Amino acid sequence: MPGAGVKILNKRIRSVNSTKQITKAMKMVAAAKLNRSQGRMLAARPYSQKLIKLVEQLAGASDGANPLFEVREVKRRLYVVITSDKGLCGSYNMNLIKLAQKTIDASVESGVETTLLTVGKKAGDYFAKRGYQVVERHDEYNGDATAQRGQDVGDYIVDAFLAESVDEVRVVYAEFVSTMTQTPVDRPVLPIAPEDTLGDDGDEEESDNISYIWEPGKGQLFDVLLPLYLRNRVFMTLMEAFTSEHAARMTSMSAATENAGELIDALTLQRNRERQAAITAELLDIVGGANAL
C-alpha cells in the first residue's frame, strides 16, 4: 500500500493541477482582451494621426496665443497615474507605481504643490493609503478604454489647466512596445509643447504640399481642434496603457501555467519514487518472511 507520503503528494498534485487550469483560463481571457484592445488601438490610429496633422497645419496660425500653450512657472503640478484595477499581471503595477512615486516625491521635494489623478484601483489605493493628495480616482475602467472615458479624464485636466488650478500636467503609464515588453514612462501633457503636435511618422513634406481651405478661419478652427487633440491623446494613452496591462497579464499567466506544469512533473516523479520505494520495502518483507519459514 502507498505510504502517507504518496497520499500527500497526490493531494498536492491535484491542487497544483487545479491552479494550472485556472491560470490557463486566465491566460486565454487575457489573450482575448489583448487581441481586442490591440484591434481597437489600431483602428483608432488613423483618426489620431489625421487629427495630429490638422493641428500641425494650424499650429503656425496660433502664434502660441491659445491658453493650452501657455508656459507658466510651475507652482502646482498634476500627475495622471494609470495602472490596473486588478492584479495577477506580474510586476506591471509595481514598476509603474515605483516610477510614479519617485517622480512625485521629487516634485514635492522641489516645493511644488503636487496632486494626483489615478486611473486604476491599484494606484488609487497605494497613494491614498500613503497620504498623497489624490484629487480624483477612476477605479471602474477594468482595462477597457472608451472615447467617453478618455474625454472624462481629458476634460478634467484641460479644465484644471485653463482654470489655473495646475500649471503642469504629466502622465505616468506603460508604453506598449510588444507583447513581452511594456515600458513605464513619465510624459508631459500640458502645456502643449510645439513639437508635441508633430506626427510620429515625420511626414512633414506631405503636410506642406497639401493645401487646405479653412472655414471660418485657422485661429477659430485651432481653438476647436486643440481640445479634441488633447482628449484623443488621453484616449490613446489609455488604450496603450490597457493594452500593456492585458499583455503583462497574459505573459504572467502563461509563465504561471508553465511553472505549474513543471511543478506537477517534479511532484509526479517524486511520487513515483515514493511508491516504488514502498513496493520494494513490501517485497523485501515478503521475501524475508518466506525465508524465515
Q: Where are the domains of the chain?
A: 4-25+252-286, 29-245
Alpha-carbon torsion 250, 254, 256, 260, what sign? positive
Q: Burial-class residue 177 by CB neighbours within 10 Å (0-12, 13-18, 19+).
A: exposed
- What was the pLDDT predicted at 206? 47
Q: CA geometry: angle at 262 spanning 258 and 267, to 5°?
A: 145
For the question of residue 94 being annotated catalytic, the response is no
Tell me the pLDDT tens digit for each residue of 208-228: 555 667 677 666 777 777 878
Please give the CATH superfamily to which domain 4-25+252-286 belongs.
Answer: ATP synthase, gamma subunit, helix hairpin domain (1.10.287.80)
At residue 78, the pLDDT reads 92
pLDDT band at residue 79 under the 50/70/90 scheme: very high
pTM: predicted TM-score of the whole model, two decimal places: 0.78
- Chain mean position to CA 15: 31
pLDDT digits (tens, 9 = 90+) for 142-152: 878 887 888 88
If DSSP codes are grouped into helix, strand and coil, which group holds residue 222?
A: helix
Residue 121 has pLDDT above 50, yes or no: yes
Q: pLDDT: is 52 or 186 the higher one?
A: 186
pLDDT at 209: 54
- What is the rounded distance in angstroms from the CA atom of residue 257 to the CA atom of residue 34? 18
Return d(Cα 123, Cα 83) in angstroms, integer.
Answer: 6
- Give, in order, the Cα–Cα distances in Å from 148 to each of 34, 152, 244, 286: 20, 6, 20, 78
Which is higher by pLDDT, 250 or 206?
Answer: 250
The number of residues making up the chain comes to 293
> Which of the residue ranges 85-89, 123-127, 283-287 has the most confident prediction, judged by mean pLDDT?
123-127
Amino acid in position 263: L
Catalytic residue among 16, 26, 58, 89: 89
Give the pLDDT confidence score for residue 194 in this predicted structure.
Answer: 57
Q: List alpha helices for 88-217, DSSP H.
A: 92-109, 121-129, 147-162, 204-209
From the options 3.30.1300.10, 3.40.710.10, 1.20.59.10, 3.40.1380.10, give the CATH code of 29-245.
3.40.1380.10
pLDDT (average), residues 175-179: 83
